[in-house]
Chain A
Amino acid sequence: MEATQELLFKIADDALIMGHTDSTWTGLGPTLEEDIAFSSMSQDKIGHAWNLYQMLHDKFGLADADTLGFKREEKEYKCSHLTEVPTQDYAYALVRQFFFDHGQFMRFSALKNSSIEWLADFSRKVTSEIKYHTLHGDTWLKKLGAQGNEESKARMQSAINEVFPLALGYFEEGPREAELIEKNIFIGEKALQEAWLEKVGDLVAQYGLTLPEGNTVDPSLGGRNGYHTEHLQPLLAEMTEVTASDPEATW
Chain B
Amino acid sequence: MDSLDPRIARLHDIRAGEVPTVGAHDYGETYEVFHQAKRGKHHAHVGTVHAPDPELALVYAKEQYGRRQQTVNMWVVRTADIFAFPYDDSDMFDSTPQKIHREAAGYKTRDKIEAYKKKQAQ
Residues of A within 8 A of B (CB): 24-28, 31-34, 36-37, 40-41, 86-87, 132, 135-136, 139-140, 143, 231, 234-235, 238
Q: A135-B59, A235-B4 are in contact. Are A32 and B10 (CB under 8 A)?
A: no
In the complex, the chain B residue whose C-beta lies closest to that of A241 is: B3
Is A33 in contact with B4, judged by CB distance below 8 angstroms? no
Q: Which of A31, A135, A231 contacts B27 (CB 8 A)?
A: A31
Q: Which of A36, A135, A143 contacts B64 (CB 8 A)?
A: A36
The reply on B62 being an interface residue by CB < 8 A is yes
The reply on B115 being an interface residue by CB < 8 A is no
Please give, as numbers and ranges, the residues of chain A lying within 8 Å of B10 by CB-CB distance. Answer: 28
Please give, as numbers and ranges, the residues of chain B lying within 8 Å of A86 by CB-CB distance. Answer: 4
Is B6 in contact with A28, judged by CB distance below 8 angstroms? yes
Please give, as numbers and ranges, the residues of chain B lying within 8 Å of A32 by CB-CB distance. Answer: 27, 50
Please give, as numbers and ranges, the residues of chain B lying within 8 Å of A41 by CB-CB distance. Answer: 63
Please give, as numbers and ranges, the residues of chain B lying within 8 Å of A143 by CB-CB distance. Answer: 52-53, 55-56
In the complex, per-residue mask of B26-61: 1 if CB is within 8 Å of any chain A CB, else 0: 011000000000000000000001111101100110
Q: What class of interface size applies to chain B in its complex with A?
A: 20 to 34
A183 to B59, CA, bound (A): 39
Is A40 in contact with B63, judged by CB distance below 8 angstroms? yes
Q: A33-B60, A37-B63, A40-B67 are in contact. Are A24 and B5 (CB under 8 A)?
A: yes
Please give, as numbers and ranges, the residues of chain B lying within 8 Å of A139 by CB-CB distance. Answer: 55-56, 59
Please give, as numbers and ranges, the residues of chain A lying within 8 Å of B53 by CB-CB distance. Answer: 143
| Cβ-closest 10 pairs across A and B | A33-B60, A37-B63, A31-B27, A40-B63, A24-B5, A27-B7, A33-B49, A139-B59, A238-B4, A139-B55
Q: A33-B27, A33-B64 are in contact. Are A28 and B59 (CB under 8 A)?
A: no
Please give, as numbers and ranges, the residues of chain A lying within 8 Å of B59 by CB-CB distance. Answer: 37, 135-136, 139
In the complex, the chain A residue whose C-beta lies closest to that of B53 is: A143
Please give, as numbers and ranges, the residues of chain A lying within 8 Å of B6 by CB-CB distance. Answer: 24-25, 28, 87
Q: Would you give the shortest CB distance from B12 to chain A, in whole angstroms?
A: 14
A32 to B50, CA, bound (A): 8
Please give, as numbers and ranges, the residues of chain B lying within 8 Å of A40 by CB-CB distance. Answer: 63, 67
18 of the cross-chain contacts (CB-CB < 8 Å) are: A24-B5, A27-B7, A28-B6, A28-B7, A31-B28, A31-B50, A33-B63, A34-B60, A36-B64, A37-B60, A37-B64, A135-B59, A136-B59, A139-B55, A143-B52, A143-B56, A234-B4, A235-B4
Is A24 in contact with B7, judged by CB distance below 8 angstroms? yes
A86 to B4, CA, bound (A): 7
In the complex, per-residue mask of B14-34: 1 if CB is within 8 Å of any chain A CB, else 0: 000000000000011000000
In the complex, the chain B residue whose C-beta lies closest to that of A147 is: B53
A108 to B55, CA, bound (A): 26
Is A24 in contact with B4, judged by CB distance below 8 angstroms? yes
Please give, as numbers and ranges, the residues of chain B lying within 8 Å of A87 by CB-CB distance. Answer: 6
Is B62 in contact with A132, judged by CB distance below 8 angstroms? yes
Please give, as numbers and ranges, the residues of chain A lying within 8 Å of B4 by CB-CB distance. Answer: 24, 86, 231, 234-235, 238
In the complex, the chain B residue whose C-beta lies closest to that of A239 is: B4
Please give, as numbers and ranges, the residues of chain A lying within 8 Å of B67 by CB-CB distance. Answer: 40
Please give, as numbers and ranges, the residues of chain A lying within 8 Å of B3 by CB-CB distance. Answer: 238
In the complex, the chain B residue whose C-beta lies closest to that of A132 is: B62
In the complex, the chain A residue whose C-beta lies closest to that of B2 is: A234
Please give, as numbers and ranges, the residues of chain B lying within 8 Å of A37 by CB-CB distance. Answer: 59-60, 63-64
